[in-house]
Amino acid sequence: MKELSQLAGQVQASTTMAIDALAKQMKADGVDVIGFGAGEPDFNTPDHIKAAAAQAIADNLTRYTPASGTPALKQAVCDRMRADCGVEYQPSQVVVTSGAKHCVYIALRALVNPGDEVILPAPYWVSYLELIKMVGGVPVIVTAEESDGFKVTAGQIRQAITPRTKALILNNPSNPTGMVYGREELQGIAQACVDQEVYLISDEIYYSLLYDGVGFTSVATLGEQVKRHTILINGVSKAYAMTGWRIGYALAEEGVTKVMANYLSHSTGSPCSISQAAAVAALNGPQDGVEEMRRAFEQRRDYLVERMNRIEGVSCLKPEGAFYAMMNVERLLGSTICGERIQTSDDFCAAFLKHGLVATVPCSGFGAASFVRWSYATSMENIQKGLDRLEQFLAKTEK
């Protein structure tokens, strides 16, 4: 047999998806496991969105749509982005994809030649690293320390840029850190990109989930030059609790969206017609559900962070957005818990799942080896129980 693609062979499975699948399987097998692995809202998709999908089926909107999305959805994306983020795009500058993850992939496809460097601030969402590899790009990791609030500086980005740099992927608010870049910080980073003709892929999918009154700045509002270098990534998965519907979108210069649309026409054909109708209802319809979910996430964050910081052996920064918290387990490395030797965050998560029946994600796959990610997109009751279990588990630490 001839060998499989070398490029494909380098791609690792998604840790987040794997842990979520494992926790769901354990639950289905009757194990009382609590899952903090998946980054998906535990809320149901709002009723008016589901009704729009049912209506789309009744109206026989069951055929292929244009490859890069229906005109109605592209318009709805422009209107919502203008209202929420103050960015100005035309429908011809929008492509709709089967989820924002695919959108990042297609954006990288549109930009990257084999061997091009793509700068990725760490901690990063696990898929970015693999997506860069999947298009033959070379990831260049720039690390943001916990002591810097997990945020990279413009100076770090400038230093990382070489003649081979094609793009920077920025995720704001961030998965996995929950940190939010302010306008000035963004301005510096964006200017570094503009000065060196580097594209800025800005994944802003968590923009509606901000806490403590923190405001949101989209990089596409930082002036025409920055906007011309920007590919905005967004989608309905997080804000409208629509992870299973698989609708994401990119907004960019027409030259970029045209190439992305060509690529889509051969890869997915078109996004699901029913899901697109549902997304139109999500974006054009009442937005109070978004605020309700945001408030619930904020309460959960407050409880989780406050209590976690009172537990001996671990700590965590207070995230300002998204629904993730980074638990620092550095002080536990080298110890034994429940008879298991803990050398890495992977060891910690494996032992915590086995003995504590709590699923969390080791951040080794996120470029932050001594951290563990908790997604607090789960009920307050689960969060309370999960932290009870953390306390019980850590009580069995031997030095």
Residues that bind ligand PMP (CB under 6 A): 39, 99-101, 125, 171, 175, 203, 205, 235, 237, 243, 248
Which residue of the chain is nearest ligand PMP when measured via CB?
A: 99
What is the separation of C-alpha 181 from the centre of its chain, rounded to a whole number of angstroms?
15
CB closer to ligand GLU, 14 vs 315: 14
234 binds ligand GLU (CB under 6 A): no
Is 39 near ligand GLU (CB under 6 A)? Answer: yes
Under DSSP, the state recorded for 211 is: -
242 lies in the binding site for ligand GLU (CB under 6 A): no
Could you tell me the CA-to-CA distances from 238 to 18, 38, 141, 234, 286 in Å, in that order?
19, 12, 26, 10, 16
CB closer to ligand GLU out of 193 and 327: 327
Quick one: 130 or 388, whose CB is closer to ligand GLU?
130
Indicate which single residue of 89, 105, 124, 125 sits in contact with ligand GLU (rule: CB under 6 A): 125
What residues numbered 161-190 form the site for ligand GLU, per CB under 6 A? Answer: 175
HSE-up (13 A, CA, CB side) for residue 392:
12
**What is the C-alpha to C-alpha distance for residues 185 and 50, in angstroms, rounded to an integer?**
39
The Cα-based distances of 290 to 153, 175, 236, 239, 318 in angstroms read 31, 19, 11, 6, 21
How many chain residues interact with ligand GLU (CB under 6 A)? 10
Contacted by 203, from ligand GLU, ligand PMP, none: CB < 5 to 8 Å by type: ligand PMP
Could you give the angle at which helices 288-308 and 380-394 cross, rounded to 10 degrees? 20
Piece of 38-46, 72-80, 86-94, 289-297 that binds ligand GLU (CB under 6 A): 38-46
Binding partner at 365 among ligand PMP, ligand GLU, none, C-beta below 5 to 8 Å by kind: none
365 lies in the site for ligand GLU, by CB under 6 A? no
* Choices 21-29, 37-45, 149-157, 302-310; region in contact with ligand GLU by CB under 6 A: 37-45
Q: Is the Cα torsion angle 260, 68, 225, 160 positive or negative in sign?
A: negative
Determine if 364 is a binding residue for ligand GLU (CB under 6 A). no
Peptide bond into 173 cis (omega under 30): yes
Q: Binding ligand GLU by CB under 6 A: which of 23, 34, 38, 157? A: 38
Please give the Cα distance from 213 to 93 (Å, whole number): 31
